[in-house]
Amino acid sequence: MLKALPRVVIIGGGFTAASLAVQLLRRSAQPLAITIIEPRERLGPGLAYSGADPDHRLNAPTGSHSLDPLDPLHLSRWCTADGLLQRDPEAAMPNGLLFIRRLDYGRYLEDSLRQQAAAVPAASLRHCQDRAVRLESVGGLWRVQTAGAETLFAEVVVLATGNPPPALQWSAQDGLSDHPRLITNPLLRPQLPQIDPDARVLVLGTALTAQDMISTLVRRGHRGPIVAVSRRALVPRPHAPELMGPVLPASLLQSSETPLDRIMRPLPDFLAPPVAPTALAWTRALRGRIAVLQAQGLSWHAAFDDLREAVWRAWPLLPGSEKRRFLRRLRPWYDVHRFRSVPFNDAIVARARAQGLLSFRRARLVALRAARKGQGLRVSLVAPGQSQVVEETFDWLINCTGLDPAAGIASNPVLASLRGQGDLVVDGSGIGIQVDPDCRVLGSDGRGRAGLFAFGPPTAGVFGDPLGALFISAQIHRALPGLLQALEDDPASRLACNARQPH
Ligand SMILES: Cc1cc2nc3c(=O)[nH]c(=O)nc-3n(C[C@H](O)[C@H](O)[C@H](O)COP(=O)(O)OP(=O)(O)OC[C@H]3O[C@@H](n4cnc5c(N)ncnc54)[C@H](O)[C@@H]3O)c2cc1C
């Protein structure tokens, strides 16, 4: 009789699922039966790379976007084989770095997953095009139920549910969710709808999604005023000048260090003890390091990158109160240095500002309603530190506010079901799922659930920054030995481990 293949079910079919499936297929000593549950038609693009807008590009070069961190040139090779540059010559910077379109990256993820599965014929990869709604431990296995009433059993289940879609609290509260001029989730639209070029547009948010949407409008010849607001009106910083010059520095071209090598380096000296693990001490240490580098003629980016690459080691050292302080006060500054602007879109935004077409304002939206005359929206804005409410009418509102992983747990039935059973808890900083250092999900009794893992954005509360492609693929790489081991565990030990303990 044929031996049944060990089963892995991955819930969510975006980048995290694709990277995990590729790494599993490449590294597992035995063939596996992998099922990815994803309601979208395609596996790989997920929320982030399903759009069709040609103006929306990856926010960093291809080198940091490979599905497999042990094969950092995988994406570059795919671009060459695909002939991508013939169709999109604009993707190449004069120095050769590629900033490809997100829609092409979505194709890369889908293609690579298919190719990798075909390369391991003894294994199986299945797309269950459905939504997981319930997950529970039954007799040493995990049982997943889908909205379409399918039941799947697996030795290992991985939560790869990603970012919840953008939402706007005001639309629901004020009965505006169906307002035709309110774009609550701009990622859902294949293109921005046909906004009249003379329309007054309010963009809520000033970060990368705002930059994407503004670029689309401007490229389409928008002439009306565009106002972008956020509490601090902070905008994404550009990439390091060393990377943007006409020729890449020799040190970079000759380096044999891969992006994964950099992530696996120990905590940089400027953050290591005796520097206290507090947000303030680390901010000071970072500033000190930047000053040293600037004295050598370098930009702030190198010091910041050392911090970013070590965040998975550093963040867990911060006490809970310090994590919460960082999220409350420093997060917006961290984010604009961390998530850098796409050079092409940056240029479009800068031009639009210089022409007076676009303005950035520090303000908070406090009320929103349908305008009495016409079809627009009446907004109430308050500038920071002021009590005066300014009322204005816009023809369109595009919501580009950040994604909220915490909201994703309550609104995602499968995560809510686990939480209700005590098999999942929210992490101490309140932004995601509590996992152990090997990404095993912890229950309300504080014990790791055997065979249940979570990767990517939902684990940001524990690791700080498993948000970008490179950092997610590296996180999977680190946890893979434990995950492969979990497939070997006998059901009796899983059963004993997953019996909930009173707490
Ligand atoms: C617009 C945008 C642009 C980005 N650009 C970049 C970039 O240029 N570079 C970079 O490194 N990072 C970028 N990111 C960061 C992004 O978080 C990661 O790169 C990566 O895409 C995250 O992948 P994911 O699979 O975890 O999440 P997602 O892309 O959010 O996919 C999660 C998937 O899970 C599915 N799902 C959720 N719940 C269930 C359920 N119950 N049952 C079944 N399926 C479910 C959803 O349908 C979704 O398709 C971007 C993010 C966004 C939102």
Encode 397-410: b = buried (16+ Cβ within 10 Å), e = exposed.
Answer: bbbbbebebbebbe
Ligand 1: distance of its center to the CA of 493 in Å?
Answer: 33
What sign for the dihedral angle of Cα 328, 329, 331, 335?
A: positive
Nearest CA to ligand 1 atom 48: 46
469 lines ligand 1 (CB under 6 A): yes
List the end-to-end C-alpha distance of the chain, in Å, as a whole number.
44
Helix (H, G, I), strand (E, B) or coil at 256: coil
What sign for the dihedral angle of Cα 76, 56, 335, 166?
A: negative
DSSP state of 376: -
- Pick from 190, 209, 212, 213: nearest CA to 201: 213
DSSP state of 63: G
Contacts with 10 (C-beta within 8 Å, 6 or more apart), sequence order: 17, 20, 21, 34, 35, 36, 37, 157, 158, 160
Nearest CA to ligand 1 atom 49: 46
Chunked in runs of 10, what are the mean pLDDT values of the chain (503 residues)?
A: 86 98 97 98 96 92 96 97 96 94 98 97 97 95 97 98 81 71 82 86 95 94 96 94 88 89 95 93 95 93 95 94 91 93 93 96 91 85 92 94 74 95 93 95 96 96 93 98 91 70 55
Residue to substitute in 38, 55, 412, 418 for testing ligand 1 pocket (most ligand atoms within 8 angstroms of CB): 38
Ligand 1: distance of its center to the CA of 420 in Å?
Answer: 24
Nearest CA to ligand 1 atom 37: 161
The H-or-E segment that residue 396 falls in is: strand 396-399
**Can you give the pLDDT at residue 492?**
72
Nearest CA to ligand 1 atom 51: 48
17 lines ligand 1 (CB under 6 A): yes
236 lines ligand 1 (CB under 6 A): no
- Pick from 419, 455, 422: nearest CA to 437: 455
Contacts with 404 (C-beta within 8 Å, 6 or more apart), sequence order: 164, 167
Two tokens at 63? Answer: 């080198």
Which amino acid is located at 355 in the chain? Q
Ligand 1: distance of its center to the CA of 439 in Å?
Answer: 18
Residue to substitute in 161, 398, 431, 453 for testing ligand 1 pocket (most ligand atoms within 8 angstroms of CB): 161
454 lines ligand 1 (CB under 6 A): no
Residues of the chain within CATH 3.50.50.60 domain(s) are 7-165+405-498, 169-236+341-399
- DSSP per-residue string spanning 137-191: EETTEEEEEETTS-EEEESEEEE---PPPP--HHHHHTT-TT-TTEES-GGGSSS
Fold of 169-236+341-399: FAD/NAD(P)-binding domain (3.50.50)
Ligand 1: distance of its center to the CA of 278 in Å?
Answer: 30
Ligand 1: distance of its center to the CA of 203 in Å?
Answer: 22
- Written out in words, the top-level CATH class of the domain with range 7-165+405-498 is alpha beta
Ligand 1: distance of its center to the CA of 427 in Å?
Answer: 20
Ligand 1: distance of its center to the CA of 375 in Å?
Answer: 33
**Can you give the pLDDT at residue 460?**
94
Helix (H, G, I), strand (E, B) or coil at 33: strand
Ligand 1: distance of its center to the CA of 14 in Å?
Answer: 5
Write the CA distances from 452 to 160, 424, 443, integer angstroms. 11, 10, 10
Nearest CA to ligand 1 atom 24: 162
Ligand 1: distance of its center to the CA of 465 in Å?
Answer: 14
**Can you give the pLDDT at residue 378?**
92
Ligand 1: distance of its center to the CA of 224 in Å?
Answer: 32
Helices (H), 245-300: 250-254, 259-264, 279-295
Q: Are the beta carbons of 479 and 462 closer than 8 angstroms?
A: no
pTM for the model stands at: 0.95
DSSP state of 193: -
Give me the half-sphere count of Cα atoms (radius 13 Å) on the Cβ side of residue 23.
25
Nearest CA to ligand 1 atom 8: 58
Which amino acid is located at 136 in the chain? E
With tokens 């290992």, the residue in question is: 156
Residue 357 neighbours by CB distance under 10 Å? 16
Nearest CA to ligand 1 atom 25: 14
**Can you give the pLDDT at residue 430?**
87
Residue to substitute in 104, 157, 163 for testing ligand 1 pocket (most ligand atoms within 8 angstroms of CB): 163
Ligand 1: distance of its center to the CA of 185 in Å?
Answer: 14
**Can you give the pLDDT at residue 402?**
67
Nearest CA to ligand 1 atom 7: 58
Q: Are the beta carbons of 69 and 473 closer than 8 angstroms?
A: yes
Residue to substitute in 10, 47, 189 for testing ligand 1 pocket (most ligand atoms within 8 angstroms of CB): 47
Write the CA distances from 323 to 308, 320, 460, 461, integer angstroms. 15, 5, 11, 9
471 lines ligand 1 (CB under 6 A): no
48 lines ligand 1 (CB under 6 A): yes
12 lines ligand 1 (CB under 6 A): yes
409 lines ligand 1 (CB under 6 A): no
Contacts with 471 (C-beta within 8 Å, 6 or more apart), sequence order: 263, 311, 312, 465
Ligand 1: distance of its center to the CA of 67 in Å?
Answer: 13
Helix (H, G, I), strand (E, B) or coil at 65: coil
What sign for the dihedral angle of Cα 124, 474, 157, 487?
A: positive
